[in-house]
Amino acid sequence: MPRRYLQGWHRVIRAMDHWIARALLGVTLVAALPAAHSDEITIAVASNFSSPMGEIVSGFEASSDHRVRVALGSSGKLFAQIRHGAPFAAFFSADQDKVRALVAADAADASSRYTYALGRLVLWTTDAELAGRERQALEAGKFRHLAIANPRLAPYGAAALQVIDALGLAEETSTKRVVGENIAQTYQYVASGNAQLGMIALSQVFRDGAITHGSGWLLPDTLHHPIQQDAIILKRATQDGKRTAVDAFWTYLQGPEAQRIIESYGYRVAATSSIDRGPLNAE
């Protein structure tokens, strides 16, 4: 390369211009080529499912050209956002009610509705003295506070209340119950030692077959209605032209890899998709 070619800033700048133009062209080509096949979708996910969803999304992205962004929040908040135009392609609720309401409001594709996880409850403590004797402590009233999630807001809270009723402890515990706004807060009440016992989601303290910290009594699911978490594809996905991507995600979600991830967090997976049992208090 002749030496004088490099002299003078305008030449350098022109050279850079060429380089930038070429780079831009390259990026445009790369972006344009798979455009017909790949999309980015945003899905709304109830906070209690954030960890398994993180793994599921990684697995899906590794096997697909599509990209998934996850918006976390409580089901009630996400529901309100969806009803007011949030650009979500799908909704993973912590319950069935909100999904049902979206179907009724014609905002979701009813045929896509799917029970992606069945939650399980555990009576959990971080108090070493209660380890292994959580049930006896609960029944004997040997605790100052029992934390449950808000039964009005959280399906885990509604189930916890059913367990308390089924064990005949509604009265004894009525002044000792403290109510977390959601299942994460309920966990914090117990983890910080302010409540000696708490009924939380098994998925919060469970990895690959064991409770990771503290100890707990896995509550028999005969004591409460199933905690069914439903997901649904929103009509918005079709409007935004993202239906292909979200359908691919749905297929992955129901495949063995995603099911294995969900189970490793202590959830059960539904044998059949979406079992509608109606509102919890209907029976």
Partner 1 sequence: MLSESDLAAIWLTLKLAATVTLLLLILGTPLAHWLANTRSRWRGPVSALVTLPLILPPTVLGFYLLIFMGPEGPMGKLTESVGLGTLPFTFPGLVFASLLYSLPFVVQPIQNAIEAQGRRHAEVAATLRAGPWDRFWHITLPLAKPGIVTAAVLGFAHTVGEFGVILMIGGNIPGETRVVSVQIYDHVEALEYAQAHWLSAAMLIFSFSVLLALYTLQRRRAASGWRYGP
Q: Give Cβ neighbours of residue 28 (< 8 Å, ≥ 6 apart).
A: none
199 φ/ψ angles, rounded to the nearest 5 degrees: -100, 110
Residue 179 sits in the site that holds partner 1 (CB under 8 A): yes
Query: Among 130, 99, 122, which residue's Cα sits nearest to residue 232?
Result: 99
Nearer to partner 1, 133 or 176 (CB): 176
74 φ/ψ angles, rounded to the nearest 5 degrees: -75, 155
Compute CA distances 131 → 30, 78, 135, 200, 226, whole Å. Answer: 57, 37, 10, 16, 26
Residue 192 sits in the site that holds partner 1 (CB under 8 A): yes
Residue 52 sits in the site that holds partner 1 (CB under 8 A): no
- Based on the number of CB atoms within 10 Å of its own CB, is 18 exposed (0-12), middle (13-18) or buried (19 or more)? exposed
Nearer to partner 1, 98 or 243 (CB): 98
Q: Tokens for 145?
A: 């506070």
Kindly indicate which of the ranges 9-17, 23-31, 129-137, 174-182 contains the residues binding partner 1, using the contact rule CB under 8 A: 174-182
- Based on the number of CB atoms within 10 Å of its own CB, is 67 exposed (0-12), middle (13-18) or buried (19 or more)? middle
Strands 206-207 and 210-211, how do they pair?
antiparallel
What residue type is 52 in one-letter code? Answer: P
Nearer to partner 1, 101 or 110 (CB): 101
Nearer to partner 1, 77 or 135 (CB): 77
Site for partner 1 (CB under 8 A): which residue of 38, 188, 259, 264?
188
Q: What is the largest CA-CA distance in the chain?
A: 93
Instruction: Tell me the number of residues near partner 1 by CB under 8 A.
Output: 25
Kindly indicate which of the ranges 38-46, 131-139, 176-184, 239-247 contains the residues binding partner 1, using the contact rule CB under 8 A: 176-184
Residue 204 sits in the site that holds partner 1 (CB under 8 A): no
Identify the bridge partners of residue 180 per DSSP, sorted by sequence position. Answer: 149
Nearer to partner 1, 144 or 207 (CB): 144
Nearer to partner 1, 112 or 196 (CB): 196
Nearer to partner 1, 151 or 266 (CB): 151
Kindly indicate which of the ranges 110-118, 130-138, 190-198, 214-222 contains the residues binding partner 1, using the contact rule CB under 8 A: 190-198
Task: Give yes or no for a contact between 106 and 232, defined as CB atoms under 8 angstroms apart.
Answer: no
Per-residue binder mask for partner 1 (CB under 8 A), 112-151, x = binder: --------------------------------xx-x--x-
Residues binding partner 1 (CB under 8 A): 74, 76-77, 79-80, 97-98, 101, 144-145, 147, 150, 152-153, 177-181, 185, 188-189, 192-194
